[in-house]
Amino acid sequence: MLVPALKLLAVIVGLAFALGLLGVVVFLAVALARMLGITILQWRDLISIDRWTEVFMTIGRNKLRTALTTISVAWGIFVLVFLLGLGRGLDNGMRKSFARDATNGVWVNANKTSVAHGGYDVGRKIMFENRDYDRAKRVAGIEHISGQHFIGGSRWGGLVTKRGGKANTFNVNAVHPEAFRLGAHEMVAGRFLSEADIIGRRKAVVIGRPVAQFLFDGDSPIGEWIVTAGVPFQVVGVFSDPAGNEEERQMYIPVTTAQLAFNGANKLGVLQFTVGNAGPDEAQAIIDTVVGQLAERHQFSPEDRQAIRVHNNVEQFARFQKLFWMISAFVLVIGLGTLAAGVVGVSNIMMIAVKERTKEIGVRKALGATPRSIVFMIIQESVFLTGIAGLLGLSAGVGCLELVGRLDNEFILHPGIDLATGLAATVFLVIAGALAGYFPARAAAKVNPIHALRDQ
């Protein structure tokens, strides 16, 4: 009985909160509509020198109070802008970390079994073959696919590459042409590997910019020959990569050529593919199909996570996106809460100012001032004070983001806010300032002239 009662109470509380929030939104919308109508009718006050002189005099009567109010609002918009810009920098840093690989890429790596299966003991080494690539290529949902052969059985082992009297060690990747789709490479000269290179087992090689600069000293490498591990290859292309030298110190050769030239038979160490626009669930279904095929072919349990290791960029990218969405939402709530506290402070200050000016307001009404003009006078002062404070906070936030952006930090990249965010913050400030002055202005408009003149 207790659990159903608690659920019912939670539903009632949630419903009451939703209705209360809806009521607040409607109330504020009505207040904004009324302020807009008053502004339209009192537009001449916006260009009145006398009115602006009066605003400055009113604000200057209590400099300490005005300064503290300005600081509170400026701090609120500073926190909002700085945290939003910082969140954007973190998002940019995260995206750069994914730039070296396709965000929709999947890598299936051959490894060792950890579960006995089909009469085989644990610790058996799995090695893919060309027909595994051919079979996986037909799986529905796979957009681009490549196999990779590990020369000498090592994925990370570099090979000595020579040209003339120059020699250095570079990583050599034996892949299919579709491997180009799984990274962020850009061709700066020539072309990438082609299907004709695979079929003809051509001795073609694509090199990164640092490799070309080292071996060719600025000369065009296209069509020239280099020697890798004693085997000559002709350079057909040069690529660059936004991830920098680490990704550019690579060389790509046809997988079939490597298997033939380096005694690799038909072995593959990795199957790598993209899944198009598939979401995490669809990508996992495609992965399960490929893993099922491999398990059937190589006699290991599909549940054995050590037999083959899967790196799923789709899932990881979606997880990071969700994380940064939560961070952005948290930052927005904190920033708006801080700004709201400053706006409430402005409203309190305007309420005090209205109380102090009760006699003045009574005189104005006795001399013929309409309630509408009184309301607009208070709102004008509030919007001006909030606007100045907001611009100070906005400028400080942008300046601090610029300083943070100049720091050498790979996790925070190009922090800042765009024009739309700046305009949205400005509009929010104007609306918040108007609301901060509206409620004290309503109280001022209701002042009875006779009672006000008797005050003090």
Which residue would you say has higher pLDDT here, 235 or 278?
A: 235
pLDDT in tens, 269-327: 999 999 988 888 899 999 999 999 999 999 998 888 888 999 888 888 888 778 878 87
Instruction: Give residue-wise pLDDT tens across range 63-117.
Output: 877 787 788 778 878 888 888 888 888 777 776 666 566 778 899 999 999 888 8
Q: How confident is the model over 346-356, as pLDDT tens digits? A: 777 777 777 77
Query: Do the beta carbons of residue 123 and residue 130 sit within 8 Å?
Result: no
- Judge whether residue 455 has pLDDT over 70: no
Alpha-carbon Rg for the chain, nearest whole angstrom, is 34
Per-residue buried b or exposed e for 303-338, using 16+ beta carbons within 10 Å of the residue's own CB: ebeebbebebbbbebbebeeebeeebeebeeebbeb
Q: State how far the Cα of 121 lies from the Cα of 307, in Å rounded to an integer.
A: 12
Per-residue confidence (pLDDT) for residue 271, from 0 to 100: 94
Q: What is the pLDDT of residues 107-144, one digit of tens each?
A: 999 999 988 887 888 888 999 999 999 999 999 999 99
User: Is 80 exceeded by the pLDDT of residue 2?
Assistant: no
**Where is pLDDT greater, at 197 or 423?**
197
Tokens linked to 261 = 């030239």
pLDDT at 452: 57
pLDDT > 70: percent of the chain: 93
Whole-number pLDDT of residue 8: 77
The residues, any chain, with a CB within 8 Å of residue 196's CB and separated by 6 or more, are 202
pLDDT value for 252: 95
Sequence spans of domains, the chain:
41-97+319-454, 112-140+276-306, 144-274
CA atoms of 185 and 332, how far apart (whole Å): 36
Choose among 269, 232, 431: nearest CA to 343: 431
The residue count of the chain comes to 456
Find how far residue 312's CA is from the centre of its chain: 19
Residue 196: what pLDDT? Answer: 95
| Greatest distance between any 2 Cα atoms in the chain | 106
Residue-averaged pLDDT of the chain: 83
